[in-house]
Amino acid sequence: MASQGVTPRSEDYSRWYTDVVQKADLADYAPVRGCMIIKPYGYELWENIKGALDKRFKETGHKNAYFPLLIPMSFIQREAEHVEGFAPELAVVTIGGGKELEEPLVVRPTSETVIGHAFAQWIHSYRDLPLLINQWANVVRWELRTRLFLRTMEFLWQEGHTAHATAEEAQQETLQMLEVYADFAMNEAAIPAIMGRKSDQEKFAGAEASYAIEAMMGNTWALQSGTSHNLGQNFAKAFGIQFQDENNEQQYCWTTSWGVSTRMVGAVIMAHGDDQGLRLPPRLAPIQVVAVPIYKTDEQREVVMDTILRVCEPLLSVGIRVHIDDREEVTPGFKYNDWEMRGVPLRLEIGPKDIEKGSVALARRDIPGKEGKQFVPQDGLVGTVTRLLNDIQKNMLKQATEFRDAHLHEAKDYDKLKKVVEDGWALIWHCGTAECEDKIKEDTKASSRCFPLDKNPEWHPQGEKCAVCGKPAQGKAYFARAY
Binding positions for Zn ion, rule: CB under 5 A = 431, 436, 466, 468-469
* Identity of the residue, 62 or 449, whose beta carbon is nearer to Zn ion in the bound complex: 449
Cβ–Cβ under 8 Å, residues 428 and 464: no
Smallest gap from residue 446 Cβ to Zn ion (A): 14
Query: How near is the Cβ of 458 to Zn ion at its closest, in Å?
Result: 19
For 63, residues 6+ apart whose C-beta sits below 8 A from its C-beta are: 132, 133, 134
Grouping H, G, I as helix, E, B as strand and the rest as coil, residue 260 is strand
Of the pair 114, 411, the CB lying nearest Zn ion is at: 411
CB of 431 to Zn ion, least distance (A): 3
At closest approach, how far in Å is the CB of 208 from Zn ion? 22
Q: Tell me how far, at minimum, the Cβ of 451 lies from Zn ion, in Å.
A: 13
Minimum distance from CB of 411 to Zn ion (Å)? Answer: 13
Dihedral angle sign, alpha carbons of residues 82, 85, 90, 92:
positive
The b-or-e profile of 401-428 (16+ CB within 10 A means b, else e) is: eebbeeebbebeebeebbebbeebbbbb
Q: CB-wise, 158 or 448, nearer to Zn ion?
A: 448
CB of 473 to Zn ion, least distance (A): 8
Q: How far is the CB of 482 from Zn ion (least distance, A)?
A: 19
Q: What angle do CA 372, 378, 380 make, to 5 degrees?
A: 95
Residue closer to Zn ion by CB (options 429, 483) is: 429
Looking at residue 196, its amino acid is: G
Give the nearer residue to Zn ion in terms of CB position, either 354 or 437.
437
Query: How far from 176 is each of 127, 157, 434, CA to CA, in Å?
Result: 22, 19, 28
Distance CA 433, CA 451 (A): 13
Nearer to Zn ion, 253 or 431 (CB): 431
Nearer to Zn ion, 389 or 431 (CB): 431
> What are the beta bridge partners of residue 410?
427
Computed over its alpha carbons, how large is the radius of gyration of the chain?
A: 25
Count of beta carbons in the 10 Å neighbourhood of residue 6: 23
**Distance in Å from the first CA to the final CA of the chain:** 32
In the bound state with Zn ion, the residue whose beta carbon lies nearer, of 364 and 476, is 476
Reference 115, options 14, 216, 313, 255; nearest CA is 255
The Cα–Cα gap between 23 and 8 comes to 14
